[in-house]
């Protein structure tokens, strides 16, 4: 049991703010993106820098406290927050420095994608992140990081050059190809199992305006659009990244959308996307030249804070006609207009040419990632939406590969988290035994150390 005296002494030693139950700020500090998560930590330490993080790790060890680490708080499973224990909240660590000469950036783990992109784009530079600007760079990168530049530059984790990592024994280690290379390997896809990152260094690329947007069709045409899409999406050049599926317009009408970003020249993008824009009779064609920042926030209105969520996702081996039929059927029946899904992300180009053993992220050879991103506003709607999500996911099971993207796993998937690490699991287990044998970092999609 944590004494008040020990807690107070510890709190005064921190440079950053901290919150305990009953204090102003505590309730706001325990809110995460998924509002169905309602946990009450004993202490939330909003770290100001690496020294606070090191102190938190020491304090948690000394008092045998469970630790949750919070970056952007977007884990749908709620892994950024815990019941009773200590939340090491990195959300105030937002330092960032772009070096245009070396095309690299140093970024702290409290940054959101929107903040990161704004700073890098000021120099006409970018690297792969995700597609919703409020997501945290830290959790996203540590699990992989799939976004509009995936075909050209791979995952966010593929573009990390180095990280500063506070390990379970309270040391701060540099992880890179040259320093602690085993840790560097595991941190790129291993989902925070080995330590807490206090600073990332990424490689950047020149990126001007992109040709992006989407086309919308009546949801009744899902089957035809999907049949066209499955070939179109995979035959495009690396510069083309696409997603598709059932979504509702902001006034609540269900449609089937194909969204895309072409990250080469605008003229080339128009040519590459012409077959999609000429296919069928779209209700709306929203393609055009736009800044990368506009592209990166295009989907934001569909994912505001304050809603409950239940997500399921898995990579697919392919999309045969039988899978198309199931996708079509569930596109017609989603119970909530806030739900995005059934949905597909395409995995092609640079990401798929990297050896699956090169980083801890194993799932590089499956063409599609299948997602059901269910969301609703009232707790009373949870049961119906969760049941529909599971039914849809179960129906697609015959077409699924072994393994899901760790960043989309829901909490109940934990017994199967092993599949999310795929063929890299045994190597990750060895690393866990070396860097965190007592499983201090366990509120994540956990690799349990072997006895
Ligand atoms: C609306 C929305 C959109 C999304 N879009 C995409 C997308 O386009 N592409 C994509 O790939 N993913 C996407 N995701 C999934 C996203 O990658 C994960 O939710 C990811 O965990 C978010 O990171 P975070 O820092 O915000 O999360 P948090 O909940 O803060 O953290 C997630 C996990 O990472 C750990 N962690 C966080 N920071 C650190 C750190 N510094 N050191 C060690 N461990 C740490 C946490 O302990 C936790 O286990 C999306 C999620 C949401 C909710």
210-413 is classed CATH 3.40.462.20: yes
Distance in angstroms (rounded) separating the CA atoms of residues 254 and 336: 10
- The neighbouring-strand residues paired with 44 are 19, 87
pTM of the model: 0.97
The pLDDT of residue 433 is: 97
**How far is ligand 1, taken at its centre, from the CA of residue 75, in Å?**
5
Q: CA angle 178-179-182, nearest 5°?
A: 95
The pLDDT of residue 289 is: 98
Third-level CATH fold of 96-206:
3.30.465
**How far is ligand 1, taken at its centre, from the CA of residue 283, in Å?**
34
Give φ, ψ of 308 to 5 degrees.
-85, 155
**How far is ligand 1, taken at its centre, from the CA of residue 33, in Å?**
10
Give the orientation angle of helix 222-235 with respect to helix 321-331, to 10 degrees: 130
Torsional sign, CA 67, 70, 71, 74: positive
Please report the DSSP string for 251-285 in residue order: TS-EEEEEEEEE-S-HHHHHHHHHHHHHSS--SEE
- 3-class SS at 76? coil
* Beta carbon of 421 within 6 Å of any ligand 1 atom: no
The pLDDT of residue 410 is: 84
Token pair in block for residue 375? 């969301």
* Beta carbon of 79 within 6 Å of any ligand 1 atom: yes
Ligand 1 atom closest to Cα of 131?
A: 8
* Beta carbon of 33 within 6 Å of any ligand 1 atom: yes
The pLDDT of residue 414 is: 61
* Beta carbon of 76 within 6 Å of any ligand 1 atom: yes
**How far is ligand 1, taken at its centre, from the CA of residue 266, in Å?**
31
Counts of helices then strands in the chain (DSSP H, E)? 15, 19
The pLDDT of residue 416 is: 65
Contacts by 380-386, CB closer than 8 A, 24 or more apart: 381/308, 381/335, 381/336, 382/36, 382/308, 382/310, 384/335, 385/310, 385/335, 385/336, 385/339, 386/310
Distance in angstroms (rounded) separating the CA atoms of residues 137 and 126: 13
Map out the domains of the chain as residue ranges: 14-89, 96-206, 210-413
* Beta carbon of 109 within 6 Å of any ligand 1 atom: yes
Contact predicate 193/278, CB 8 Å: no
**How far is ligand 1, taken at its centre, from the CA of residue 107, in Å?**
15
* Beta carbon of 313 within 6 Å of any ligand 1 atom: no
Mean pLDDT by 10 residues, the chain (451 residues): 90 98 97 97 98 98 96 97 97 98 98 98 98 98 98 98 98 98 98 97 98 98 97 95 97 97 98 97 96 98 96 95 98 97 96 96 95 97 97 96 90 72 94 97 92 62
**How far is ligand 1, taken at its centre, from the CA of residue 142, in Å?**
8
Distance in angstroms (rounded) separating the CA atoms of residues 232 and 154: 19
Q: Choose one of 34, 53, 74 to mutate for the ligand 1 pocket test, by most ligand atoms within 8 angstroms of C-beta.
A: 74
In CATH, what number does 14-89 get?
3.30.43.10
């Amino acid at each position: 049991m944590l004494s008040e005296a020990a807690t107070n002494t510890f709190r005064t030693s921190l440079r950053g703010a901290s919150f305990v139950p009953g204090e102003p700020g505590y309730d706001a500090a325990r809110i995460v993106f998924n509002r169905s998560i309602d946990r009450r930590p004993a202490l939330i330490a909003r770290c100001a820098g690496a020294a606070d993080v090191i102190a938190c790790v020491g304090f948690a060890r000394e008092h045998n406290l469970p630790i949750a680490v919070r970056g952007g708080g977007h884990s749908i499973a709620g892994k950024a927050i815990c019941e009773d224990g200590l939340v090491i909240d990195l959300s105030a660590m937002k330092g960032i420095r772009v070096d245009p000469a070396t095309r690299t950036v140093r970024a702290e783990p409290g940054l959101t994608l929107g903040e990161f992109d704004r700073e890098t784009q000021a120099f006409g530079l970018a690297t792969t992140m995700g597609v919703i600007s409020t997501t945290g760079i830290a959790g996203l990168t540590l699990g992989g990081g799939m976004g509009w530049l995936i075909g050209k530059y791979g995952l966010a984790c593929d573009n990390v050059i180095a990280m500063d990592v506070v390990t379970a024994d309270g040391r701060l280690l540099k992880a890179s190809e040259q320093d602690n290379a085993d840790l560097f390997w595991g941190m790129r896809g291993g989902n925070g199992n080995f330590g807490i990152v206090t600073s990332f260094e990424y490689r950047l690329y020149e990126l001007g305006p992109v040709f992006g947007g989407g086309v919308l069709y009546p949801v009744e045409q899902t089957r035809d659009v999907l049949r066209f899409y499955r070939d179109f999406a995979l035959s495009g050049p690396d510069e083309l990244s696409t997603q598709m599926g059932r979504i509702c317009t902001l006034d609540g009408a269900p449609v089937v959308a194909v969204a895309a970003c072409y990250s080469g020249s605008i003229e080339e993008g128009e040519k590459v996307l012409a077959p999609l824009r000429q296919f069928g009779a779209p209700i709306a064609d929203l393609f055009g030249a736009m800044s990368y920042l506009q592209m990166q926030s295009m989907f934001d209105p569909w994912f505001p804070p304050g809603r409950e969520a239940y997500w399921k996702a898995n990579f697919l081996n392919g999309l045969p006609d039988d899978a198309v039929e199931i996708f079509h059927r569930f596109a017609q029946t989603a119970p909530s207009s806030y739900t995005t899904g059934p949905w597909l992300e395409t995995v092609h180009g640079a990401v798929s040419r990297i050896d699956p053993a090169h980083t801890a992220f194993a799932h590089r050879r499956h063409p599609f990632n299948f997602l059901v991103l269910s969301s609703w506003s009232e707790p009373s709607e949870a049961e119906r939406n969760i049941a529909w999500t599971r039914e849809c996911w179960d129906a697609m099971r015959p077409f699924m590969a072994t393994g899901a993207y760790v960043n989309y796993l829901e909490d109940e998937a934990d017994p199967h988290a092993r599949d999310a690490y795929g063929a890299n699991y045994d190597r990750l287990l060895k690393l866990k035994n070396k860097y965190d044998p007592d499983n201090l970092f366990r509120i994540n999609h956990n690799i349990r150390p072997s006895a």
